[in-house]
C-alpha cells in the first residue's frame, strides 16, 4: 500500500502534466469543475479545481460537491503514474471508478489522460 505522501506527490505531478497540455484540451471558456480523488484503501481524499485548462488548488480533504469523483486504491494510482497500469484497462476492470456526467467525462477525457 502506498503512503498518502506518495499519492499526493503523484497527483501534484499529474496536475503539472495537465497544465502542460492545457492548450490541447479545447475546453469551452468558463469550463470549471471540482474534482475529488478518493484513495479507497487509505481513507484519504484529495480535491482540486479544473479551470482554464489547469488543475489547481490540490488539497487534502474531500469536496462533497465535486462534479467529478475518482475512486481507486493507492497502489493503482502509483501504477498508473508509472505506466504499469493503463487507464482504460483500470476503468474497464473496475480498479478505477469515475462518477461524473457523461458530458463532463467526454470533455475531461484528454485532461485526465496524462501520459
Domain residues of the chain, as ranges? 4-109
Buried b (16+ CB within 10 A) or exposed e, 41-72: eeebbbbbbbeebbbeebeeeebeebbbbbbb
**pLDDT on residue 88:** 85
pLDDT of residue 12: 92
How much is the pTM? 0.86
- According to CATH, the superfamily of the domain at 4-109 is SCP2 sterol-binding domain (3.30.1050.10)
pLDDT of residue 115: 44
Residues of the chain with pLDDT under 70: 19-29, 110-115
Amino acid at each position: 500500500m502506498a503512503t498518502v505522501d506518495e499519492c499526493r506527490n503523484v497527483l501534484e505531478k499529474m496536475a503539472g502534466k495537465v497544465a502542460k497540455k492545457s492548450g490541447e484540451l479545447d475546453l469551452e471558456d468558463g469550463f470549471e469543475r471540482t474534482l475529488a480523488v478518493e484513495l479507497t484503501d487509505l481513507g484519504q481524499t484529495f480535491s482540486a479545481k479544473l479551470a482554464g485548462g489547469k488543475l489547481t488548488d490540490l488539497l487534502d480533504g474531500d469536496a462533497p460537491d465535486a462534479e467529478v469523483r475518482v475512486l481507486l486504491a493507492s497502489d493503482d494510482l502509483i501504477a498508473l503514474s508509472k505506466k504499469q497500469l493503463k487507464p482504460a484497462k483500470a476503468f474497464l476492470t473496475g480498479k478505477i471508478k469515475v462518477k461524473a456526467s457523461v458530458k463532463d467525462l467526454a470533455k475531461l477525457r484528454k485532461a485526465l489522460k496524462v501520459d
